[in-house]
Structure 1
Amino acid sequence: MTLTVPLESPEAADPERFGPKAANLARLAQAGLPTPGGACIDAQAYRAQVEHLGLCVAARQAASADLPLARRRALEVRMGLFQQPIAVPVLEAWQALEGVPAAVRSSALVEDRAGASFAGQFESYLGVGSEADYLTAVRACWAALWSVRALRYFALQEIDPAQNAMALLVQPFVAARAAGGGLSRTPGGEMLLTAAPGPGSAIAQGEVVPDRYLLDRDAVVLEAEAGRSQTAAGCAHERALPRARSACLDRSQASALGSLLLRAEQLLAHPVEIEWVLGANGFQLVQARPLRVEAAVAVAEPWPSDRVLRGQPAGIGRATGRSCVIRSPASERSRWCSARPTRPSAFPMAWK
């Protein structure tokens, strides 16, 4: 069985071999939607490496033993995957790029599924420029299945990590001048796009407040709001101050991207959340996952203006009670929280 297949190959659309992230992107590419292309590495490569290194028992114990032993076994699996040579063929995807820097992305078999997206729990590496760095990125993506935050998410979802595996998506790195995400359906029935300058990691890392574009179902822009960048004022220890900037997309660009978002929803036959980049070849989609949409909650009575928080929502729902501002993962938990932009991986800790 071939472990590496091109994204355009019909085989790549198999989520049981290549994970839903890669499989969804393969379906988009095969339907003619713009993607960077690239190749998928079968999750069997991860399984074969774990077996070759003799880590199967440690993996099972990491998922089922008491907490101290489980942590030791999880560390044993992670370090084994990092420290030992790779015994399975994974270089074909790198060699196919012919010297172009790579984007190496996780595509776990449990990732991007309805009800358990694992958003922000695994790893992606952008601009990988050498074979040695590529092999390190492969190891790191495999090992991310056993990171502390991923194991916490597995436990919350009651999923056994030892019964799962990590496929990989290897693509040409896009030197993007803008990137962001999109929701094909909001609770109000519109579409929502976000955008920020650069390759998109600034949004994931919480370094910027992205632009927001609200569109109707015909991809017509209803609202456009420029975002802000977080910049340090003088000393790095001083409070970061938001800095206004111009919008990344004009209305015609936002409308064109909205049309791609609609096509992705139609192809996958359910609401979707996408990630996109804008480079020399125009808009390209790099991810599409199922989107859970709940009906908008009608507010029985207007809230006083001094009790309303404004910002980028991180989750669905409404709650009453004592709130707190989260400044770090160790902050005190409460019914609902306000935080500066941060990684998605922080929120399972906040809500546990």
Structure 2
Amino acid sequence: MSPANLRDLEAASNLVRQHIESKPLPELLSKEITDAYQRLGGCAVAVRSSASQEDLSTASFAGQYDSFINVSGVPEVLSRVKSVWSSLWTARAIVYRRLKHLDQGKVSMAVLVQRLVEAEAGGILFTKDPFSETSNVMVIEGAWGLGDSVTSGSVDPDRFWVNRKDLKVVKRTTASKSLMRVSDGAAGTVDLSTPESKRDKPCLTDQAVAELARLSLGIESLFGAPQDIEWALSKGSFYIIQSRPLQRATVR
């Protein structure tokens, strides 16, 4: 696609997104979202994309659609729901679908509103090493704070290679994690300097690594295929944010 065509596509995408986001939600739908949000306690939430052609075995769509972390209050939740819907038509998503030969007219977008996990550490886990076809190890990447700093590539994470049979760490690299991403008051996130005591310390103990690995193998068994899992650790418990089929060719 030529630069001129890309500029035209960006302009058309912006018009479509502005149209979607400028329209009020239907009254009944707005009430249902409001009621569901209030049942969560009106707490901080993550508003996440879940498209119909996302996380396919041949097309993960990782990073193509918008999600929002630390959203609070009914007006902001309703606004972010529309923003996620409109991200179905970002120029990058349109181009990605074209490259994957997917029908632009058959794609649709659902929105997940999840209670925000105030993570002490977070990251991703591949239940098989994505660079090996016959891997007997899984790979965990993690950092202090919210895990989207790892999924977005904003930080250099700790890495753990774990034997799939005995769940022992067979190799590790500990990054110097100068920044950590945390919730920023009532809305959004912010990157702060990591305390000196944590900067060069692994974000997971070997015991925690084994617990996360065991949980992830159960998820792999449930889906019947290797998984790319996003995780969070809060107050000593692991939370699974999402799981998708492992994409060997697209993993860093």
What residue in structure 1 maps to residue 42 of structure 2?
99
Correspondence for 2:103 among 160, 174, 198: 160
Write the mapping of 1:30-45 to structure 2, written as runs, cut at 5 A: none
Do structure 1's residue 78 and structure 2's residue 6 form an aligned pair?
no
What SS does structure 2 have at the residue aligned with 1:208? coil
What SS does structure 1 have at the residue aligned with 2:93? helix
Which letter does structure 2 place at the counterpart of 1:78?
R
Which letter does structure 2 place at the counterpart of 1:85?
P
Post-superposition offset of 1:98: 1.5
Instruction: Quote the Cα distance in structure 2 between the aligned partners of 1:199 and 1:130.
Output: 20
Contact 2:9–2:91 under 8 Å retained in 1 = no
Do structure 1's residue 287 and structure 2's residue 242 form an aligned pair?
yes
Correspondence for 2:144 among 186, 197, 204: 197
Gaps of 5+ in 1: 1-65, 232-242, 295-312, 316-352
What residue in structure 2 maps to residue 118 of structure 1?
61
Do structure 1's residue 206 and structure 2's residue 161 form an aligned pair?
no
* CA root-mean-square deviation: 2.2
Do structure 1's residue 275 and structure 2's residue 230 form an aligned pair?
yes
1:155-179 alpha-carbon deviations (Å, 9 max, x no partner): 1112233321110111110110000
Contact 1:108–1:165 under 8 Å retained in 2 = yes
Higher Cα Rg, which structure: 1
1:201-251 alpha-carbon deviations (Å, 9 max, x no partner): 2113332111101111122221222123356xxxxxxxxxxx952110010
Contact 1:226–1:246 under 8 Å retained in 2 = yes
What residue in structure 2 maps to residue 130 of structure 1?
73
Gaps of 5+ in 2: 180-195
What SS does structure 2 have at the residue aligned with 1:117? coil
Alignment CA distance shift 1:193-1:69 (3 Å): closer
Contact 1:94–1:131 under 8 Å retained in 2 = yes
State TM-score, norm by structure 1: 0.59
State TM-score, norm by structure 2: 0.80
Alignment CA distance shift 1:202-1:70 (3 Å): closer
Contact 1:226–1:247 under 8 Å retained in 2 = yes
Give the aligned length.
Answer: 221
Post-superposition offset of 1:292: 3.7
Instruction: Quote the Cα distance in structure 2 between the aligned partners of 1:245 and 1:281.
Output: 20
What SS does structure 1 have at the residue aligned with 2:203? coil
What SS does structure 2 have at the residue aligned with 1:270? coil
Contact 1:207–1:230 under 8 Å retained in 2 = no
Alignment CA distance shift 1:256-1:68 (3 Å): closer
Instruction: Quote the Cα distance in structure 2 between the aligned partners of 1:205 and 1:292.
Output: 16
What SS does structure 1 have at the residue aligned with 2:177? strand
